[in-house]
C-alpha cells in the first residue's frame, strides 16, 4: 500500500495522475495538489478513481510541510516548476518523505540550470534516511536510462553520446510551445554547450545544426545543438565519455517567430517598468501564448527521442541507438494529452514505481543512470513508451 502526493497540475501533472491511477496495485492513494484547485479538480474528474485534491503554494516550504504531514505520502512527485525544486526538497527533508522530480533546479533570475544545488543536498537526504530521484522525465530521465542500458547490454565503454529529441508533431498554430512557454523559451534561447575531452564548450544559441534522418516515416529534420542537464550527470557518472551532445528539432516557423520575439525583447527575463509596474517580458508573453494543455486535441504527428552511443565492445568499436516513437493522437486518446507531456509523465510514474516497489533503493540524492536500467526499461514497454534499438 503506497500513497503519493503529486505537486503540480499542468500538462505533465495530468499525465502523471492518469498513469498512477492505472496502477492501483502500486499507487493505492493519490493526492494532487497545486496552487489552482480548479485545475486539479478538472484532472481528477477525468479519472475513474478517487483522487484527493489539495491546494498549496509550492514556493512556500512551511505550507508544503503542513500539507505533507496532512497527507502522509510515501513519496512526493514534483511536477511543478523547476524554480520550486529546492523549496519542495526542503519540505521532504523536514518531513522525511522520498522525493522525485523531472527537471533540475533553475533560478528565476538566471536562465542557467545545473544540478549543483540539488547534489549539495545528498548528505542531508542520506542523514534523513530518504531518497531523492532527480530528472525522472524523458530527457532527462529515459535518456539517462537508455544510456545506462547501452552501457549494461552493449558497450564496455561509451566514448561518444548523442541525445536527439524530435517533435515532428503539428498543432496548426503560428506559434505555440508544447510545454510551459516560459521554461521552453528560456531553455531554447540559452547558450548551447557540449562536452569534449573533459571540457565544456559553449556555443551561441542554436548556432550549430545538421540534418538527421529519423525512423518510422518521420524522415530528415534539422537538429540544433543545445545544452541539457542530463549531459552534466552522464559525463559525471560515465567518466570514459569523451564527447556528449544534445540535439533538438525546431520548425522553421518556430525559429522565425522566436527570432522576432527575441529581437523586440519579449524573451527577456529581467524586469522592466511599465505604467508604474514591474513586469518580466517573458512572463507577460507566457500569458499571451496558448496554454500547452489546450494543444492536445489538435496536435498530429509523432515524437522521436533517443540516444546514439559509440564505444568499445570486446575490444572493437560499436555503435548503438535506442529510441522511442510516441504518437500525439494516441496520447490524447489515452489521457487527453499531447505526446510532449505524455513522454514526460509516463517515466515520472515509472520512476515513482521503482522507488515504491524498491526496485531502486538508496539514501541520498541520485540520478537515473545510477540504478539498474532493466526494470525501468521493462516498464516502459508496458506503460505506453515502447522502445527499439539499432545495432550498427
pLDDT of res. 111: 67
> C-alpha distances in angstroms, 47 versus 149, 178, 231, 348, 382?
33, 23, 36, 18, 20
Half-sphere exposure of 85 (CA within 13 A, CB side): 25
pLDDT of res. 77: 98
What percentage of the chain exceeds 90 in pLDDT?
81
What residues does 122 pair with on adjacent strands? none
List of residues 6+ apart from 184 with CB closer than 8 A:
177, 178
* pLDDT beyond 80 at 224: yes
CA nearest to 184, candidates 114, 103, 72 = 103
Q: List the chain domain ranges.
A: 142-338
* pLDDT beyond 80 at 112: no
Tell me the pTM.
0.94
312-349 pLDDT, tens digit each: 999 999 999 999 999 999 999 999 999 999 999 999 99
Provide the pLDDT confidence category of residue 178 given band limits of 50, 70 and 90: confident
pLDDT of res. 101: 98
**Cα 332 from Cα 351, distance rounded (Å):** 22
* pLDDT beyond 80 at 82: yes
* Sole residue written with cell 559525471: 236
Q: Is 333 exposed, middle or buried (0-12, 13-18, 19+ CB in 10 A)?
A: exposed
The dihedral over CA atoms of 13, 16, 21, 23, expressed in degrees to the nearest 10, equals -170
**CATH class of the domain at 142-338:** alpha beta
What percentage of the chain exceeds 70 in pLDDT?
100
Q: What average pLDDT does the segment 229-255 reach?
A: 95
36-60 pLDDT, tens digit each: 999 999 999 999 999 999 999 999 9
Provide the pLDDT confidence category of residue 180 given band limits of 50, 70 and 90: confident
DSSP string across 297-320: GG-BSEEEEEEEEEEEETTEEEEE
CA nearest to 211, candidates 203, 220, 199 = 220
pLDDT of res. 106: 87
Chain centroid, CA 100 distance in Å: 11
10-30 pLDDT, tens digit each: 999 999 999 999 999 999 999
Q: For all residues of the chain together, what is the average pLDDT?
A: 95
Provide the pLDDT confidence category of residue 121 given band limits of 50, 70 and 90: very high
Amino acid at each position: 500500500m503506497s500513497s503519493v502526493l503529486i505537486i503540480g497540475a499542468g500538462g505533465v501533472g495530468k499525465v502523471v495522475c492518469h498513469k498512477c491511477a492505472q496502477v492501483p496495485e502500486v499507487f493505492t492513494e493519490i493526492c494532487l495538489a497545486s496552487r489552482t484547485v480548479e485545475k486539479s479538480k478538472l484532472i481528477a474528474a477525468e479519472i475513474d478513481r478517487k483522487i484527493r485534491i489539495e491546494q498549496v503554494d509550492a514556493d512556500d516550504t512551511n505550507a508544503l510541510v503542513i500539507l505533507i504531514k496532512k497527507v502522509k505520502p510515501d513519496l512526493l512527485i514534483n511536477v511543478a516548476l523547476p524554480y520550486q525544486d529546492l523549496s519542495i526538497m526542503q519540505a521532504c527533508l523536514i518531513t522525511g518523505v522520498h522525493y522525485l522530480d523531472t527537471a533540475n533546479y533553475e533560478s528565476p533570475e538566471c536562465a542557467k540550470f545545473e544540478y549543483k544545488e540539488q547534489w549539495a543536498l545528498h548528505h542531508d537526504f542520506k542523514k534523513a534516511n530518504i531518497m531523492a530521484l532527480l530528472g525522472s522525465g524523458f530527457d532527462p530521465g529515459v535518456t539517462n536510462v537508455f544510456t545506462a542500458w547501452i552501457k549494461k547490454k552493449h558497450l564496455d565503454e561509451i566514448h561518444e553520446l548523442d541525445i536527439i529529441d524530435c517533435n515532428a508533431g503539428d498543432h496548426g498554430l503560428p506559434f505555440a510551445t508544447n510545454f510551459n512557454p516560459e521554461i521552453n523559451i528560456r531553455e531554447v534561447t540559452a547558450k548551447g554547450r557540449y562536452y569534449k575531452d573533459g571540457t565544456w564548450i559553449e556555443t551561441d544559441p542554436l548556432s550549430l545544426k545538421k540534418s538527421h534522418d529519423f525512423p518510422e516515416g518521420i524522415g530528415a529534420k534539422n537538429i540544433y545543438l543545445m545544452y541539457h542537464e542530463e549531459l552534466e550527470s552522464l559525463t559525471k557518472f560515465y567518466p570514459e565519455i569523451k564527447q556528449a551532445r544534445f540535439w533538438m528539432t525546431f520548425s522553421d516557423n518556430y525559429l522565425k517567430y522566436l527570432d522576432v520575439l527575441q529581437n523586440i525583447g519579449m524573451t527577456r527575463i529581467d524586469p522592466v517598468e511599465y505604467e508604474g509596474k514591474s513586469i518580466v517580458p517573458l512572463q507577460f508573453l507566457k500569458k499571451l501564448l496558448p496554454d500547452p494543455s489546450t494543444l492536445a486535441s489538435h496536435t498530429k504527428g509523432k515524437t522521436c527521442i533517443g540516444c546514439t552511443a559509440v564505444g568499445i565492445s570486446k575490444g572493437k568499436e560499436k555503435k548503438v541507438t535506442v529510441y522511442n516513437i510516441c504518437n500525439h493522437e494516441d496520447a490524447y486518446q489515452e489521457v487527453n494529452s499531447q505526446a510532449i507531456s505524455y513522454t514526460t509523465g509516463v517515466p515520472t510514474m515509472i520512476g515513482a514505481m521503482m522507488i515504491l516497489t524498491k526496485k531502486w533503493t538508496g539514501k541520498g540524492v541520485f540520478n537515473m543512470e545510477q540504478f539498474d536500467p532493466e526494470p525501468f526499461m521493462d516498464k516502459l514497454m508496458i506503460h505506453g513508451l515502447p522502445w527499439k534499438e539499432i545495432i550498427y
